[in-house]
Amino acid sequence: MTSKKHRTVAYAVAVHLLLIAIVCYAAFPVTQPEHPVRLVYWTNAGKVLFNHELHTSDAGYGLSCFDCHHHPPDDDQALMACSRCHPQKVKDDATPETCLDCHEADEIEGTELPNKSDAFHGQCTGCHEQFGKGPPSGSENCSKCHVM
């Protein structure tokens, strides 16, 4: 008789704890930070862990938002996800076909719209080459960035 009573009490405690967890989860939702600390980019060559805080903090590289996010050039409230213009694989109806779909010809250098991985490689390796960090452009050493 005692074991059945203990089991009933254990189930009741478990149900109460579950209800408390659900209420706490609903009452205190997690908000996405304005500037994420780290981002993980999933690629065919392996995941790339990008430390956003290292790149933007004064103790790190001290880059501004516009050093990497080239669009829009003057409004950090309107920054968009890279995949908005640089699709991973499949373009949808919202993805522009060329840069000229959104920009005037005198605003941009080239009109060809690179895919996401080409845009990242160009942006990341170009900057790291400029500051002497990371593998050189065209390097076979992919594991410097694609670590996971």
> Are 74 and 23 part of one and the same domain?
no
Work out the angle at residue 119's Cα, subtended by the Cα atoms of residues 47 and 107, and round it to the nearest 5 degrees. Answer: 155
34-62 pLDDT, tens per residue? Answer: 666 787 877 777 888 888 888 888 888 88
If asked whether residues 2 and 52 sit together in one domain, one would say no
Regarding pTM above 0.75, the answer is no
Residues β-bridged to residue 49:
40
Residue with tokens 């706490």: 24
**Whether residue 120 sits in one domain with residue 104:** yes
Task: Give the per-residue pLDDT at 7.
Answer: 92
pLDDT value of position 74: 63
Determine the pLDDT at residue 14.
96
What's the full length of the chain, in residues?
A: 148
Is the same domain home to 86 and 20?
no
Are 138 and 78 in a shared domain?
yes
Q: Examine the domain organization and report whether 98 and 138 are in the same domain.
A: yes
Question: Is there a single domain that holds both residue 13 and residue 64?
Answer: no
Query: Of the candidates 41, 35, 34, 32, which has an alpha carbon nearest to the alpha carbon of residue 123?
Result: 41
What domain range is 10 assigned to? 1-30
Residues 102 and 48 in one domain: yes
One domain, residues 68 and 137: yes
4-30 tens-digit pLDDT: 899 999 999 999 999 999 998 888 877
| Residue 78 DSSP one-character state | G
Regarding whether 15 and 48 lie in a shared domain, the answer is no
Q: Hey, which bits of 8-123 come out as E strands?
A: 38-41, 48-51
Q: Do residue 59 and residue 23 come from a single domain?
A: no
51 forms bridges with which residues in the sheet? 38
Tens of pLDDT along 103-148? 777 777 766 777 777 777 877 877 877 776 655 555 667 777 787 6
| Distance from C-alpha of 124 to C-alpha of 144, rounded to nearest angstrom | 12
pLDDT > 90 fraction of the chain, expressed in percent and rounded: 12
Radius of gyration of the chain (CA): 23
Q: Does 50 lie in the same domain as 16?
A: no
How far is it, in rounded angstroms, from Cα 52 to Cα 54? 6
Q: How far apart are the first and last CA of the chain?
A: 54
Q: For the chain, what is the domain count?
A: 2
pLDDT at position 11, please? 95
